[in-house]
Structure 1
């Protein structure tokens, strides 16, 4: 199971490290290894959230996510995306931006860093919407009930998530963007840039998430029918296979996953410049890490981990909420990537521990009920 799921990740790791060594000897080899570990540690919450979506898709689309999706993640977000950002923000042609990336690493790093306020606003808004939609939703299982119960009641208000996100964007644009951090410790007024980028992130979520939700809603009747068939199969002792999302529904869920991965990768791409300013080294290191994140996503789905540990998804969404706030704060202030990574890991670890405690409690209650039933069946006298 491990090799079947992580086989491609092992192969990509070996190939990437060989290419790194050939490209820049042992120094590049070490930097690529460090960046790979950095990407994996920062993106574990991404894998958990992805698994929650991917488990609804059929095996074909799961393979697409692991193959085509990886190409998009590695070459699109880790290599092409920074070049596109430099091209747009510096008013350069794509070819000039590529030339700059390959031949003037310091200038390239400077331009990517200066584009950070727009990147952080876009990614921060997209991720914040994911968190808000989750936290305002009424769920049967509640991890932090004292937070989730009152917020789920607020969730009955139409468009509450959008209102809260826009308030956060407006506040951060004036609190942080007015003196946004620039390369070399300088500051610049980027209020309008942050507002436009944040609204673009919000619109992207509404369009992609809305299309995915639309097709999911259309399948609700089919799922209800499926549930009836499942109960009938259970009564008759027959095996029942759950129908997974396919066609247009799966395509838009796949698109949603790719945008989600892009939003998660923003901090990793920017933070990678703290390790190296060579775009080839960054692409190799983050690409290897992205491959493991995808393999971990598929592993979580096939093992049914989210069904067994019900609070894991809660912990991942709280990590997303924390990351969205941190992205907005980094518009003005520098926050070490290790802080971002540790917050996410801590929240997921706590949710995993809470899930284990819940499972033990339910098991103990079940044993207690069985014992009580057995005692009631014992004759009370002669």
Structure 2
């Protein structure tokens, strides 16, 4: 699973994703047969794995674009490391270890006991995971909100999709800490809508999400600066790698929790979301190799707007339940509109170029 060195056909980029899909769906069908002993049960688990994969892909369009934005500035060595080690961490770390870790902390039991609980008492396991949704949503929502706001609050940003909003944000970016102040205000607003212990949990978790973002930024900058002095080949490597791993974790929170609405079996969830993660990896490689972000100038904007929408939805989920399908479709719609706007811009530029050429003749 190495990063390709040159552009290839679109199907070629998804070769590993197709292989993992076939293996994962067969494994899901086998689990269904082993657990129920019926064709119907096997088909049900097969279908759930497929739906979870689609859910993960729909929730992660923006993740792939943001990953590609960061990866394009990394050396081939670090690109390869992220696309190999990173996918292992994404699939096994976030889809298996992370849910187990939550249960270990919440139920105050050992890792082995958590695995046994997931296998023998999936209902209890799901209950513990759902109870942990509030702090997870507060932490992940805050981190993603900082990611989105930092992109728009940039005084050097000169390409604007929704100019009325983005030009103002770029102008106010000269005020130090404006995005942090904005997030802190939102934290206070949402905490006031909650009561008692829930409000305290939301505030503490959100602050931890904010501090994590700032820590990743500081540590990443320090690591990359030190690596630049030691080796030019390591430039932009480890710090960006850490940033992308934490970002992927934040994107995964919503999908992991939402998966329990379809099944309470941890292993089925891991298969379905793991398949989806492989497609995100393949999309990331294709975007980097084909230079899609440069070709479609507003695509990146759509992804970061989708991130902001997702962060707000995660905040709102601490108050009311919002189906994951809305989250996925909302992000996909924003990216689709930004792609359409980019195509329109490119056509306009080509038309103007032809007119200019005719005038010169």
Same fold, judged at TM 0.5 (above): yes
The equivalent of 1:224 in structure 2 is: none
The aligned counterpart of 1:108 is: 125
Residue in structure 2 matched with residue 354 of structure 1 by the alignment: 341
- Write the mapping of 1:289-304 to structure 2, written as runs, cut at 5 A: 289-304=276-291
Task: Give 1:96 deviation, angstroms.
Answer: 2.1
Corresponding position of 2:293? 306
In the alignment, what sits opposite 1:81? 98
Instruction: Report deviation, 1:213.
Output: 4.4
Aligned residue in 2 for 1:45: 62
Unmatched runs of 5 consecutive residues or more in structure 2: 1-7, 34-41
Q: Is the 8 A contact 1:120 1:328 kept in 2?
A: yes
1:190-201 aligned at under 5 Å gives the runs 190-201=198-209
- Structure 1 unaligned regions, length at least 5: 179-187, 221-244, 375-382
For residues 122-149 of structure 1, give each alpha carbon's deviation from its aligned partner in whole angstroms, at most 9, with x where no partner exists.
1000000011111111311100000011
The CA deviation at 1:217 is 7.5
**Residue 299 of structure 1: CA displacement?**
0.5
2:218 is the alignment partner of 1:210: yes
Distance in 2 between the 1:58 and 1:249 partners? Answer: 7
Cα distance, 1:68 vs. partner? Answer: 1.1
Report the secondary structure of 2:322's partner residue. Answer: coil
Residue number among 38, 41, 45 corresponding to 1:28 in the alignment? 45
Query: Which structure 2 residues correspond to residues 142-221 of structure 1 after superposition, within 5 A?
Result: 142-175=160-193, 177-178=194-195, 189-213=197-221
Could you give the per-residue CA deviations for residues 78-97 of structure 1, whole angstroms, max 9, x where no partner exists? 11101111111222222222
How does 1:242-281 map onto structure 2 within 5 Å? 246-247=233-234, 249-281=236-268
Describe the SS at the equivalent of 2:319.
coil
Write the distance in 2 (CA, Å) between the matches of 1:213 and 1:300.
25
The answer on whether the counterparts of 2:227 and 2:235 sit within 8 Å (CA) in structure 1 is no
Alpha-carbon distance between aligned partners in 1 of 2:182 and 2:289, rounded to the nearest angstrom: 35
Deviation at 1:99, TM superposition (A): 1.7
Q: TM-score, normalised by structure 2?
A: 0.90
CA pair 246-17 structure 1, distance change in 2 beyond 3 A? farther
SS in 1 for 2:117: helix
3-state SS of 2:128 partner: helix
Pair member with larger Rg: 1
Cα distance in 2 for partners of 1:144, 1:246 equals: 37
Residues 295-332 of structure 1 deviation map (CA, whole Å, 9 limit, x = unaligned): 10111110110000010000000000000000011012
Aligned residues: 342
Q: Deviations over 1:42-61 (max 9, x none)?
A: 11111111111111112222
User: Measured at CA, do residues 106 and 246 of structure 1 come closer, stay the same or move farther in structure 2, by a change above 3 Å?
Assistant: farther
Structure 1 match to 2:320: 333
